[in-house]
Structure 1
Amino acid sequence: MTWSWQYENSAGEATGTSEAFDQRSEAETWIGTSFEDLLEDGVEQVRLLQDGTEVYGPMSLRPE
């Protein structure tokens, strides 16, 4: 079982994916430390995927 993030632009179009993580907690920790870099690269929102199936999202990377 692997976990990854699907990157999306402001229109909700997929623009890429993160590396694969073995644990959900690893994926969630990674997004918490990487979101600012992703925003600088044009990623506006993400979806968490488990083996390619959406678990949740879209989740905005912008602070509320």
Structure 2
Amino acid sequence: MSDFDQSGARATEAQPWRWRLEDGAGGVVEAAPDLTDKSFPSQADAESWVGEFWPDLADAGVAAVTLFEADREVYGPMSLEA
């Protein structure tokens, strides 16, 4: 996870939400930086983003995602299969 958010600003405690992108075996996928280096100010923002970009994630080899608030796992893995 990058120390910077999608706008290039340094991520802060105000943006603790992030997704771990996983392959079919549960390993971390290192997709394109525009898909992996994301942090969000709220759970709703994180969920909206994954709802919009799940086809791009799947094309990059992501099979599932797990949501984190800072270091706390909130839920997942959640499959990206239709």
> Could you say whether these structures have the same fold, taking a TM-score greater than 0.5 normalized by the shorter chain as the test?
yes
Give 1:11's aligned residue. 25
Give the fraction of aligned pairs with identical amino acids, expressed as a percent: 40
TM-score, scaled relative to structure 1: 0.90
TM-score, structure 2 as length reference: 0.71
Give the 3-state SS of the residue equivalent to 2:29 in structure 1.
strand
Quote the residue 1:22 is aligned against. Answer: 41
Q: Deviations over 1:7-58 (max 9, x none)?
A: 0001111224440101110000000000000000000000000002210001
**Structure 2: which 5+ runs fail to align?**
1-12, 31-35
**Structure 2 counterpart of 1:20, one-letter code:** S
2:78 is matched with 59
Q: Say which one has the larger Rg.
A: 2
Secondary structure of the residue that 1:56 maps to in structure 2? strand
* SS of the residue 1:21 aligns to: coil
Alignment size in residue pairs: 63
Gaps of 5+ in 1: none
Which has the larger strand fraction? Answer: 1
The match for 2:60 is 41
Question: Which shifted more, 7-16 or 42-51?
Answer: 7-16
